[in-house]
Amino acid sequence: MTVFDLALRSLRHRTGGFVASFLSMFLGAIVIMSFAAMFDTAGGAGVDAVSEETLITMASVVGGWGLVIVLFAVISTMTLSVRQRAGEMALLKSVGATPFQVGRMIVGETLVVAVAASLLALPLAAGGGWFLLEMLQETGQVADGVGYAFGSAALSIGIGVTLLASVGGAAVAARRAVRMRATEAMTAASIETGRMSRKRVIAAIVFLAAGLNCGILTATLFDGKGIDAMQTAGQASIWFSIGLALLGPVLVRPVTAALAGPLRLVGGAGGYLAVENVRRRTQQMAGALMPIILFTGIATGTLYMQSIENGAPPAAGSSIPPDEAQAIETLNFVVVGMLSVFAAIMVINTLVAATTYRRREFGQQRLVGSTPPQVLGMVGMEGVVLAAAGVLFGSIGSIVTVFPYSLARTGELLPDTTLAIYLGIVSVAATLTLASCLGAARKAIRVPAVQAVAV
């Protein structure tokens, strides 16, 4: 039996484990292809210069951000699913599979999933691109006569990027899994050190610095330049949030420490277990924390930036005419809408996958004497820690956009806008987190405990 057979078999037997990766590739492919279709559309006959420029900006700016997020999403779901299978990898290695074979199996599995995801995404992406063009024409940003095209650019960029991001993500995840020695991997399946790799720390610092840099540029270089400041302000919270998300394992600790006392007091045995779990599983927690931070940070940053803009006086120094400002507003909402939907699905995916994977652990707890409400209580309190940490650091991530932009546009550090948007974002983040954890846990404990432990 070749390694590829093994990959196919494993795909067939654990379809559930690939749902998260599949969904992020699938959605990613739809987003990237829809926007890449704007390149095809711009290249059509009889497209005027203004329409062409709008289309190309749309495709490169939004599509570019889509690419970053998809890459991120795929890497994080793949890392999660590979880590969940550390035991299986260890078993394969202990029966003689070489690290190369194990790595090839993981990459092979991912490739199969990615091809399926991009092909299935095709019809939806074609529709998505058409909808995008409709919207641009309706808001008068692209001439009505421009005909829709979905062609070589959409296909090559869409499928190419999805496959590359997936295989890249799998390779990163696989490298980590196979570098462990067999016996080491066996123990790592049950305990983890909670330390972060140096590369991860460096990457986090680079992202944080980029975000901070954008924030500083916004407040200094673009002060008094009006809406031009969005060029740097918009990116600031994205970079900074990614940096914070990468630091997840470190960030989750102080939040746990702060909440440990109250949780134990209110939560009884469930609270006690929740605190122990979060402490000992910082890596897994960090995986779930990532999309919550990104969602909160990017949505808060971008929506407040637009809200500040809408309330600010027109600036003399702006190079952008007022009618183009409306196009930028559309662009902002499209970006936020896209990223939010993506992040929301990531939150659900990651948490459902991580919680479902704990079926055996829940079974063990029930055998020791946890009642179903106690298991759910524990999961709920872990969700509270996650939501609190995610919202806290997401909010910090948004600051590098909101404060500098407010300073640049109004001269005040604190924006004079409604708090309702923020409260809305926080409630969505908290609800998504808790509902995903609890929903998956409820389903996981429907299986009799003895059977849950046996598999």
Partner 1 sequence: MAGQDITRAGEALRLVQVSKTYGSGDHPVRALDDVSVSLAAGTFTAIMGPSGSGKSTFLQCAAGLDQPTEGRVFIDGAELTGGSETKVTKFRRQRIGFIFQQFNLLPTLTVLQNVTLPLRLAGKKADRKRAIEILGRVGLRERIDHRPAELSGGQQQRVAIARALVTNPSVIFADEPTGALDSRSARNVLALLAEAVHEFGQTVVMVTHDPVAASYADSVIFLADGRLAGSLDRPTAEAVAERMTHLGDQVAPYAAVGE
Separation CA 236–CA 213 (nearest Å): 8
**Looking only at residues 276 through 295 of this chain, which bind partner 1 when binding is defined by CB under 8 A?**
276-277, 280-281
Q: Nearer to partner 1 by C-beta: 205 or 454?
A: 454
Q: Could you say which of 311, 372, 424, 439 contacts partner 1 (CB under 8 A)?
A: 372
* Cβ density class 316-325: b for 16+ within 10 Å, e for less: eebebeeeeb
Q: Nearer to partner 1 by C-beta: 90 or 392?
A: 90
> What does the block give as tokens for 451?
């059977």
- Nearest distance from residue 382's CB to partner 1, in Å? 12
Q: Nearer to partner 1 by C-beta: 150 or 357?
A: 357
Helix axes 248-280, 372-410, angle to 10 degrees: 170
374 is an interface residue for partner 1 by CB under 8 A: yes
44 is an interface residue for partner 1 by CB under 8 A: no
366 is an interface residue for partner 1 by CB under 8 A: yes
- Nearest distance from residue 293's CB to partner 1, in Å? 24
- Of 87, 84, 92, 86, nearest to 19 by C-alpha is 84
88 is an interface residue for partner 1 by CB under 8 A: no
Separation CA 443–CA 65 (nearest Å): 35
367 is an interface residue for partner 1 by CB under 8 A: yes
Could you tell me if 242 and 207 are in contact, meaning their C-beta atoms sit under 8 angstroms apart?
A: yes
448 is an interface residue for partner 1 by CB under 8 A: yes
Q: Could you say which of 137, 272, 438, 447 contacts partner 1 (CB under 8 A)?
A: 272
Stretch that binds partner 1, among 103-111, 117-125, 234-242, 363-371 (CB under 8 A): 363-371
Look-up: residue for tokens 């910082």? 282
Q: Nearer to partner 1 by C-beta: 159 or 375?
A: 375
**Looking only at residues 402 through 441 of this chain, which bind partner 1 when binding is defined by CB under 8 A?**
none
Counting residues that bind partner 1 (by CB under 8 A) gives 27
Q: Nearer to partner 1 by C-beta: 435 or 453?
A: 453
User: x-or-dash pattern for partner 1, window 132-171, by CB under 8 A?
Assistant: ----------------------------------------
Q: Nearer to partner 1 by C-beta: 44 or 268?
A: 268
- Nearest distance from residue 66's CB to partner 1, in Å? 37
Stretch that binds partner 1, among 104-112, 193-201, 274-282, 323-331 (CB under 8 A): 274-282
Q: Could you say which of 369, 419, 420, 455 contacts partner 1 (CB under 8 A)?
A: 369
Q: Nearer to partner 1 by C-beta: 168 or 268?
A: 268
87 is an interface residue for partner 1 by CB under 8 A: no
**Looking only at residues 175 through 214 of this chain, which bind partner 1 when binding is defined by CB under 8 A?**
187, 190-191
- Nearest distance from residue 365's CB to partner 1, in Å? 7
Stretch that binds partner 1, among 41-49, 158-166, 272-280, 286-294 (CB under 8 A): 272-280
373 is an interface residue for partner 1 by CB under 8 A: yes
Q: Nearer to partner 1 by C-beta: 158 or 377?
A: 377
Separation CA 422–CA 310 (nearest Å): 16
Q: Nearer to partner 1 by C-beta: 187 or 418?
A: 187
313 is an interface residue for partner 1 by CB under 8 A: no
Q: Nearer to partner 1 by C-beta: 51 or 84?
A: 84
User: x-or-dash pattern for partner 1, window 231-270, by CB under 8 A?
Assistant: -------------------------------------xx-
Q: What is the SS3 string spanning the chain? A: CCHHHHHHHHHHHCHHHHHHHHHHHHHHHHHHHHHHHHHHHHCCCCCCHHHHHHHHHHHHHHHHHHHHHHHHHHHHHHHHHHHHCHHHHHHHHHCCCCHHHHHHHHHHHHHHHHHHHHHHHHHHHHHHHHHHHHHHHHCCCCCCCCCCCCCHHHHHHHHHHHHHHHHHHHHHHHHHHHHCCHHHHHHHCCCCCCCCCHHHHHHHHHHHHHHHHHHHHHHHCCCCCHHHHHHHHHHHHHHHHHHHHHCHHHHHHHHHHHHHHHHHHHHHHHHHHHHHHHHHCHHHHHHHHHHHHHHHHHHHHHHHHHHHHHHCCCCCCCCCCHHHHHHHHHHHHHHHHHHHHHHHHHHHHHHHHHHHCCHHHHHHHHHHCCCHHHHHHHHHHHHHHHHHHHHHHHHHHHHHHHHHHHHHHHCCCCCCCCCHHHHHHHHHHHHHHHHHHHHHHHHHCCCCHHHHHHC
Q: Nearer to partner 1 by C-beta: 104 or 281?
A: 281
The residues that touch partner 1, with contacts defined as CB under 8 A, are 187, 190-191, 268-269, 272-273, 276-277, 280-281, 361, 364-374, 448-450, 453
